[in-house]
Structure 1
């Protein structure tokens, strides 16, 4: 984890322009998908490929902005941290799942019993006292 304190800066004009361009490219891809699908002349697979190309282009444009570099840095640090995780074995996972299932069943039975007792107290005893 990065422990350096970095001052936060506002996005520069070039970054804002790149982000607007990325949004426009993506919007154009989505618009083209629906526009060319209205008459049915272009197959859906080709239109979907166009949207995917627009998405990749928008992500590529956005990756070269300051927020895009921060996202790439975050993803790189996340991958580094994921390598440090000690995952449970299959046996540990099965045992833990079994324990959780037993606890859920016991607690649901206990809550059902409490509900039954409270229902009988309220309906049978308290309401009969008032009559």
Structure 2
């Protein structure tokens, strides 16, 4: 039986850091809108600086360190992927298009056959 592991924030310091991150993001967005009369530069500066500080605080928390470790592992796995060549990609795309055309023709023929059987043979209705 597989047990599911739930990652939780254990320390008060980590909870405080995550609360600070949320507060910084909210303050950045509020500051962006409140500084509308100060000019576009001031608005964007407050927003960008606030978000950068929030990301910095997040990365200093345990959740941030786990996220960075996950991102490194994911990047390592992406490097292991063997990507198809251009020729292989074009061939597979052609196969998919050919299959779609064949299936469309098959479904159209099936629809017309059932229409003919039901309306013309069984019910005797003629389309006008």
Report the TM-score, using the length of structure 1 for normalisation.
0.79
The Cα offsets for residues 53-73 of structure 1, whole Å up to 9 and x where unpaired, read as 222111111111111111100
Equivalence for 2:100? 104
Whole-angstrom CA distance in 1 between matches of 2:116 and 2:49: 65
Higher relative contact order (CA 8 A, sep 6+): 1
Unaligned runs of 5+ in 1: 1-6
Equivalence for 2:25? 26
Whole-angstrom CA distance in 1 between matches of 2:39 and 2:122: 71
Change (3 A) 1:17 1:126: farther
The Cα offsets for residues 6-55 of structure 1, whole Å up to 9 and x where unpaired, read as x8663111111100100100100101112222xxx233344133222222
RMSD: 2.1
Equivalence for 1:115? 111
Task: Report SS of the residue matched to 1:115.
Answer: helix
Change (3 A) 1:94 1:46: farther
Equivalence for 2:35? 36
How many residues align? The count is 120
What are the within-5 Å matches in structure 2 for residues 1-131 of structure 1?
10-11=8-9, 12-37=11-36, 41-128=37-124
Change (3 A) 1:65 1:110: same
CA contact (8 A) 2:58 2:64 kept: yes
The Cα offsets for residues 48-103 of structure 1, whole Å up to 9 and x where unpaired, read as 33222222111111111111111100001111111111111111111111111111
